[in-house]
Amino acid sequence: MLIGAHVGVADGYPAAVDYAASVGCEALQMFVKNPRQWRGAVPDAAATTLFASARRTRGIGYVVTHTAYLINLGSEDPTLWERSWRALADELWRASLYGADATVTHIGTNRGGDLRRGAARVSEAIARALDVAASPVRLLLENTAGAGTTFGSTPEEIGAVLREAGPLHRARLGVCLDTCHAHAAGYDLSIPSGWDDLLDGFERHADPARIEVVHANDSVFPCGSRHDRHAWVGEGTIGRQGFARLFAEDRLADATVIVEMPGEVPEKDLVNISALRQLREACGAPGF
């Protein structure tokens, strides 16, 4: 299991790789445009080349990008829905320019509450984005904390999207499991039975093998709160033993682990990556 962090790109993409290596990353996650805007400048060809070179030199084994927060693939507003899938296609295209392995996206909402109908709308948006982008980058659907009408807080909801996808599109899809979101949605990841409930749900509805990235974030709020607030590994309501179970779980052995932490750089990444690497070593999980 590779371990890394979401890293900033304010100093440029090659510098982001250097920073990632300096804090012990074996993998990294990044934005490929401003996540709070629909549009972004066309990536500079020299920057993408330098990024790829820096990645090879620094030995970063996996790169995942994260889409803009504005995207809502389940929107019932036809204008927002089309804008969202087109933005997703743009994100996938940008990710391919940087040679990313995957792109993570939030799914959006399902205001109507009908599982099949909501999943079909999301799946159609994904299909259009994949077709337009024509990108080799895999698309990973991230689970949510279950607040309001957000869609994708359970394996059943994510699995419904996968089932609605045609075989060719489904083959391009995976899952990003956020531990804070799952805990907030009602899966108590501080205890083994909570992990079993969650991964057994994926066994039934979506296949745990599709979990390609784990956002290893502790939770400020308790299980079932539906509040998404990240805490440092071992300092929240999941706790150190909850993350030890992550590394002991055979069904997640091939996933890449990414931290998305509040706080100041580089301390937030040095501390949390070190904590996860210690747990990985203690559990005898495969490393880099």
Burial class (CB in 10 A: 0-12, 13-18, 19+), 14: buried
At 128, the amino acid letter reads R
3-state secondary structure of 229: coil
Catalytic residue among 6, 210, 230, 245: 230
Active site residue 6: no
Catalytic residue among 26, 91, 142, 212: 142
Phi/psi of residue 222, each to 5°? Answer: -75, 165
Active site residue 245: no
Active site residue 212: no
Catalytic residue among 6, 55, 66, 280: 66
Catalytic residue among 36, 39, 250, 264: 36
Active site residue 181: yes
Catalytic residue among 11, 44, 56, 69: 69
Active site residue 106: yes
Catalytic residue among 76, 124, 196, 260: 260
Q: Which two tokens stand for residue 272?
A: 């949390």
Active site residue 267: no
Catalytic residue among 6, 55, 58, 106: 106
Catalytic residue among 55, 121, 138, 181: 181
Active site residue 203: no
Catalytic residue among 6, 94, 215, 245: 215
Active site residue 36: yes
* Closest of 91, 86, 123 to residue 105, by C-alpha: 91
Catalytic residue among 90, 178, 212, 269: 178
Catalytic residue among 26, 228, 249, 269: 228
**30 and 283 in contact (C-beta within 8 Å)?**
no
| Secondary structure E strands in the chain | 3-6, 27-30, 62-66, 102-106, 138-142, 173-178, 211-215, 218-219, 230-231, 256-259
- Tokens 């699995």 correspond to 159
Residue 265 CB coordination number (10 Å): 14
Active site residue 69: yes
**144 and 107 in contact (C-beta within 8 Å)?**
yes
Angle at 207 between CA 277 and CA 129, to 5 degrees: 95
Q: Which residues are catalytic?
A: 36, 66, 69, 106, 142, 178, 181, 215, 228, 230, 260
